[in-house]
Structure 1
Amino acid sequence: MALDIVIMAAGKGTRMKSSRPKVLHTLAGRPLLQHVLTTAAKLGANKLVTITGHGADEVEQAMQGLFPQQRLVFVRQQPQLGTGHAVQQAAPQLADDGTTLILNGDVPLIDAGTVGELIAASGGEKLALLTIELEDPTGYGRIVRKGDAVLAIVEHKDASPELRQIREGYTGVMAAPTAHLKRWLAALRNDNAQGEYYLTDIVAMAVHDGVPVVATRAHNETEVLGINSPSQLADLERRYQRAQAEALMEQGVRFADPARFDVRGELVCGTDVEIDVNCVFEGRVVLGDGVKIGANCVLRNTGIAAGATLLPFTHADGEKLGVSIGAGAIVGPFSRLRPGAVLGEEVHIGNFVEVKNSTLGKGAKANHLAYLGDADVGEKVNYGAGSITANYDGANKHRTVIGANVHVGSNCVLVAPVAVGEGATIGAGSTVSKNAPAGELTVARAKQVSISGWVRPTKKKA
């Protein structure tokens, strides 16, 4: 039986107080709508139909190309005349002989397992509603029952004081036989307090038609929470991050404070990993056994081998090329690793050192105030404070090759393309633009001159 999924993402989100469409606000580093589409993509649907409206061009452009294996279709609801009117726009895209699952683009943490149970409860024959019981269901449509049978959903705005006492609320997620759904959508009316076409009115239609209406419960409140304000977004962000921290702690990761931790992608940890406060992990980050991450580090698309230590305020951003940190390496504090940085075992990168598209061999050190860009650095190199590779000639990048056991003195400039032979020493303050021979001292600086009788200029008095 075919499954089509409809995602409602047309709303303006007035309470967000933002020019950005609500479904493009981010949670854990990804747009709300992307979270929902990621869940939907796991369900094996024939088609994913996203209903856009406010900021439609921006929303559609943001999602294009993110799900190349899915049949991603966009339809527009303009103007926005209610939830029923929204699904009416999607109806022509739906296969008559299947089941339609309806999700909301501003409910980002809905679980695939939960909606899978809902689809199974529908079975292509029943109208299945996802509900939740809350201490305070304000804003939720109330589930009206007679015994176990669901009779109707009454929107909060239209509910009487008695109905508002019902604690079981409708989450906005349903699964329905598509042929029935299309017929019910065509019969919707807008004679209510808001003058809108409510999707929830189809429940009473199903009851009238003798189609069974069933309800399944969400596993927890967090997965069905919608976003309507910055406050709600911040609350859900912390719920999500706490859940990520709890899962990692179950694996043995130790946090200085799990409330001050953010993962905005995928974080894979070995055993005995320690993470201090205010660390952010983006893209895919892999931490080997015994890795220690100091406070206020930001890591993106980075792999760190066993026993390495990142001291506070280290920033490693691999972008597409990645960053790799070898076993036992020590990086930081205040270090910056850019795309293509590959640090071997026991490498030391110290404060205010930047490494970009460079490979450092085992035991190499750059401990202070230095830049290594487009360089191949051998084992046990000591790279002095204030030294840089001048890798850009204004049009093209060039590489610097530094052999093993080289000592580069402080405040040197290595003008690429250039090679420094194994065991060479570069004298402090040198600007090296020609290859330096192995095992020799190379000095390239002006001769020191002292001028006797010279008088420093003084300011003229007015």
Structure 2
Amino acid sequence: MSLNIVIMAAGKGTRMKSALPKVLHKLAGRSLLQHVLNMTEGLGGARNVVITGHGAEVVEAAVAGPGVQFVRQMPQLGTGHAIQQAVPAIEGDGTTLILNGDVPLIKQATARRLVEACDGKALVLLTIHLSDPSGYGRILRQGGTADGNVLAIVEHKDASPEQRGIKEGYTGMMAAPTAALKRWVSQLNNNNVQGEYYLTDIVAMAVAEGVPVLGIAAPNETEVLGVNSPVQLADLERRFQREQANDLLEAGVRLADPARFDLRGTLSCGQDVEIDVNCVFEGQVSLGDGVRIGANCVIRNATIGAGARIHEFTHIDGEAQGVKVGAGALVGPFARLRPGADLGEEVHIGNFVEVKNSTLAKGAKANHLAYLGDATVGERVNYGAGSITANYDGANKHRTEIGADVHVGSNCVLIAPVVIGAGATIGGGSTISKNVATGELSVARGKQVAIAGWTRPVKKR
């Protein structure tokens, strides 16, 4: 049976007080709308029909992809009017699932329950029981009982004082028989306080036709909370982060404080992983057994081997290339690993050291105030404080090769392209622009001069 998925994303979001369309505001590193689109993967829908309106061009450019089709609602005249615009894009006699682009945390299991309960035959509403359902349309059931058949939905603004006392609200999400949905929305009118076309009016039409109308309660409030203001977005961010933290805790990860943890991508962890406070994980991050992450680290697109220690205030950003940290390596504090950094086992990268597009073999060390860019570093190399690879000539990048057991003294400049042979020593303060042979000592600096009787200048008064 065919499944159409329609996502309403046309609203302006005035209360966000932002030039950015509401559905593009981010939660856990992804836009609200992208969360919904990601959830639909695996539901088996033929396509996702996204209804855009305010900032349509920007929204469409942000989430365009295979299986996503856009229709525009101009002007925005209510939820029923939005679905009217989508009717030409939905096909077949199966089920149409309607979701909201500003309700980002709806779970796939919940959406699947709606689709299965509909089965192309029933109108199925996702509801929620709240102590204060202000703003939600109220579910009117036969006999006013909790398990009575659904008779209608009355919007909050049109509800009587008695109806506003109902605690069961409509979340804005439903599954409907596709053919019937098309027929119902063609009959909608705007005879209401707002002068809008309400999608909720189709409930009374279904009842009149004898089509079963079911109300399925959402498992929890968080799944169905929408975002209309920065306050609501911040609240949902914390709820989501705490949920992810709880999942990690259940899996055995030690979080120093679940309330001070942010995951904005995917994080896989081995056994006995420890994560201190205020750490942010983005993109795809993998932590091996026994990894320890110090406080205030930012780690993006990285694989960190077993037993590695990432000290406090370290910034790892692999971007598209990724970063690899070998087993038992020590990184930080205040270190920066950039795309293409590949650290072998037991490598040490210390405070204020930056590594980009470089490979360091087992046991290599750069412990202080250094830069390694476009370099291949052999085993057990000691790279001195203040030393850098000068890898850029103003137009092109060049590579530096440092053999095993090389000792590079402090405050050296290695001007690429250059090769330092295995076991060589570079004297402190040297600027090296020519290859250094295996085992050689190379010193390239000005001769020290002492001037006897020199007097320091005195400031004129």
**TM-score normalised by L of structure 2:** 0.98
Question: Does 2:361 align with 1:361?
Answer: yes
- Indicate the residue corresponding to 2:50 in structure 1: 50
- Indicate the residue corresponding to 1:108 in structure 2: 104
Residue 460 of structure 1: how far off its partner (Å): 3.7
- Indicate the residue corresponding to 1:268 in structure 2: 268
Residue 182 of structure 1: how far off its partner (Å): 0.9
Question: Does 2:4 align with 1:32?
Answer: no
In structure 2, what is the Cα distance between the partners aligned to 1:372 and 1:96?
59
SS in structure 2 at match of 1:248: helix
1:119 is matched with which residue: 112, 115, 118?
Answer: 115
Q: Which amino acid aligns with 1:219?
A: P
Moved over 4 A (4+): none
Q: What is the root-mean-square deviation of aligned Cα atoms in Å?
A: 0.9
SS in structure 2 at match of 1:215: strand
| Count of matched residue positions in the alignment of Structure 1 and Structure 2 | 457
In structure 2, what is the Cα distance between the partners aligned to 1:379 and 1:288?
22
Residue 449 of structure 1: how far off its partner (Å): 1.3
- Indicate the residue corresponding to 1:18 in structure 2: 18
In structure 1, what is the Cα distance between the partners aligned to 2:445 and 2:437?
17
- Indicate the residue corresponding to 2:411 in structure 1: 411
Residue 132 of structure 1: how far off its partner (Å): 1.0
In structure 1, what is the Cα distance between the partners aligned to 2:296 and 2:49?
40
In structure 2, what is the Cα distance between the partners aligned to 1:266 and 1:367?
30
1:82 is matched with which residue: 58, 78, 85?
Answer: 78
- Indicate the residue corresponding to 2:187 in structure 1: 187
In structure 2, what is the Cα distance between the partners aligned to 1:315 and 1:297?
6
1:99 is matched with which residue: 83, 92, 95?
Answer: 95
In structure 2, what is the Cα distance between the partners aligned to 1:64 and 1:130?
27
- Indicate the residue corresponding to 1:433 in structure 2: 433
SS in structure 1 at match of 2:161: coil
Q: Which amino acid aligns with 2:135?
A: G
In structure 1, what is the Cα distance between the partners aligned to 2:309 and 2:41?
38
- Indicate the residue corresponding to 1:382 in structure 2: 382
Partner deviation per Cα, 1:346-383 (whole Å, 9 max, x = no partner): 11000000000000011111000000000000111110
- List gaps (5 residues or longer) in structure 1: none
Q: Among all aligned residue pairs of Structure 1 and Structure 2, give the percentage whose two residues are the same amino acid.
A: 73
In structure 2, what is the Cα distance between the partners aligned to 1:383 and 1:200?
69
Partner deviation per Cα, 1:4-53 (whole Å, 9 max, x = no partner): 01100000000111110000000000000000011122211012100000
Q: Which amino acid aligns with 1:105?
A: G
- Indicate the residue corresponding to 2:139 in structure 1: 143
Residue 452 of structure 1: how far off its partner (Å): 3.5
Q: Which amino acid aligns with 1:82?
A: G
SS in structure 2 at match of 1:385: coil
Question: Does 2:62 align with 1:62?
Answer: yes
Q: Which amino acid aligns with 1:190?
A: N
**TM-score normalised by L of structure 1:** 0.98
> Does the CA contact (< 8 Å) of 2:294 and 2:312 recur in 1?
yes
> Does the CA contact (< 8 Å) of 2:352 and 2:369 recur in 1?
yes
Residue 453 of structure 1: how far off its partner (Å): 4.6
> Does the CA contact (< 8 Å) of 2:391 and 2:400 recur in 1?
yes
Residue 225 of structure 1: how far off its partner (Å): 0.5
Residue 98 of structure 1: how far off its partner (Å): 1.9
Question: Does 2:295 align with 1:299?
Answer: no
Residue 216 of structure 1: how far off its partner (Å): 1.1
- Indicate the residue corresponding to 1:218 in structure 2: 218
> Does the CA contact (< 8 Å) of 2:150 and 2:214 recur in 1?
yes
> Does the CA contact (< 8 Å) of 2:94 and 2:119 recur in 1?
no
Q: Which amino acid aligns with 2:78?
A: G
Q: Which amino acid aligns with 1:387?
A: S
Residue 451 of structure 1: how far off its partner (Å): 2.8
Note the 1:171-182 alignment, pairs <5 A.
171-182=171-182
Note the 1:190-269 alignment, pairs <5 A.
190-269=190-269
Larger deviation, residues 285-294 vs 441-450: 441-450
SS in structure 2 at match of 1:239: helix
